[in-house]
């Protein structure tokens, strides 16, 4: 007998004997993964959720399940995009780039509502501390972004 235990962010959520292999069990874990509980607010940053699958076989001698293998992966949960102005879709334009390769942070500003979309190409993997994950975060419009928009509009109307 063989079974798979799926553990999401440290919480066991499913025990199943259906998958035929560890890879299939990991696929099932990914398919069942629901990002919504992690998207707590519209302006939260990107987070990563640890999915762990444990493969266990029944040991007749001891009368217990014994772990024989495990596999894991990180699921990326991007924050939901906040709304733009009524009847508008965000139009993100590059405002500035901070840092340099490979650790760039791109700040985009929506030319309609002035919100920021911040993309970090060098975010830290919470599971092992390595860098290089891509994260997205939204920030509210501020004086600087509204100024940038109106300046941009002026420059364009001069043409």
Residues of this chain that bind Zn ion (CB under 5 A): 84, 90, 110, 112-113
Q: How many CA atoms lie within 13 A of 14 on its CB side?
A: 18
Minimum gap (Å) between residue 107 Cβ and Zn ion: 14
Minimum gap (Å) between residue 108 Cβ and Zn ion: 10
Minimum gap (Å) between residue 138 Cβ and Zn ion: 10
Minimum gap (Å) between residue 141 Cβ and Zn ion: 9
Between 53 and 110, CB nearer to Zn ion: 110
Between 15 and 146, CB nearer to Zn ion: 146
Minimum gap (Å) between residue 98 Cβ and Zn ion: 21
Between 4 and 116, CB nearer to Zn ion: 116
Between 41 and 129, CB nearer to Zn ion: 41
Which of 79, 78, 118, 111 lies closest to 96 in space, CA to CA?
118
Which of 97, 103, 95, 96 lies closest to 123 in space, CA to CA?
103
Between 63 and 86, CB nearer to Zn ion: 86
Task: Give dist(CA 103, CA 79) in Å, integer.
Answer: 21
User: CB within 8 A of 25, min separation 6: which ones?
Assistant: 4, 6, 16, 19, 53, 55, 71
Host H or E run for residue 134: strand 131-139
Host H or E run for residue 41: none
CB 59 within 8 A of CB 65: yes
């Amino acid at each position: 007998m063989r079974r798979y235990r799926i553990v999401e962010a440290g919480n066991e959520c499913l025990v199943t004997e259906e998958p035929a292999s560890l890879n299939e069990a990991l696929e099932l874990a990914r398919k069942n993964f629901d990002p919504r509980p992690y998207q707590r607010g519209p302006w939260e940053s990107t987070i990563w959720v640890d999915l762990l699958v444990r493969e266990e076989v029944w040991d007749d001698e001891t009368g217990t399940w014994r772990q024989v293998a495990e596999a894991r992966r990180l699921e990326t949960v991007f924050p939901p995009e906040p709304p733009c102005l009524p009847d508008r879709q965000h139009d993100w334009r590059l405002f500035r780039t901070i840092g340099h390769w490979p650790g760039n942070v791109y700040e985009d500003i929506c030319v309609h509502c002035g919100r920021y979309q911040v993309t970090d190409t060098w975010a830290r993997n919470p599971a092992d501390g390595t860098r290089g994950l891509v994260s997205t975060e939204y920030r509210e419009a501020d004086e600087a972004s509204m100024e940038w928009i109106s300046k941009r509009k002026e420059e364009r109307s001069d043409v």
